[in-house]
Structure 1
Amino acid sequence: MNLEIETQIRECEARLYTAMAASDVSELDVLIADDLLFVGPTGELATKAMDLELHRTGGTQFHEFVPKELEIRVCSENVVLVAAKIFLSVTYLGNAFSGDYRYMRVWHKGENGWQIVGGSASATV
């Protein structure tokens, strides 16, 4: 069972990376839960609506997106924790950033399938 869930999450993560890099708002809408709580690299709290709006308006633009590591912990048949290390080159609200970032995500399987309900991102050193 855990291997099946881990495979599903790897597929969801791959879909997420593609959607983030392309600012595919429709796909992000499917993968992110309506009640998402996400803490960004500067400590700001973001919601799904805020994230989708940034992608929709070009406030977030990924120039390079290179996954480096992916750790998955299956907590239950409905909850999975993911730690990902990704090299990013991104423009966020007009400011350019690049470097390695560590993402923590909480995936929950509900009536809409696997969706991200929580997470955070921080720059690595």
Structure 2
Amino acid sequence: MKTPVSVLRLPRGPDPNSRGFDPNSPRFVALCATSISASSKPGADPASLQTEQRARSMMRERFLRCLISMANKKIQFHMYEKVKVDATFGASDIDVLNFQVSDLQTPIGVQTEALIRCQDVISYSFDM
């Protein structure tokens, strides 16, 4: 008989959909330190805040469109220590912390399925 494996349940977030955290928590502030949070204080110029939010929105949309166009294409990831790996891009998690890839070709072998941490990637390229 196979040994059963317990399932790890992570704590739920504070919102009803369990997808977020308190924006005033130290973790949120450390991970999302932007000029928007600093400029949203009383006395900040609302026009500059709106301009910055519009620019961020445009950059986010471009990045998401790039992720969509990468689906099922061969990608070359440039990683630290001058390592280059090739893979077929599958998806990204909601926070864009990991990439799911198939047929990952590394210097030491091939993995049929893998997750690549975005912190380990310097850049990536693919043919349109």
TM-score range, shorter chain: 0.3 to 0.5
TM-score, normalization by structure 1: 0.39
Q: Which has the higher contact order (CA 8 A, sep 6+)?
A: 1
Structure number, greater radius of gyration: 2
Higher strand share: 1
TM-score calculated relative to the size of structure 2:
0.38
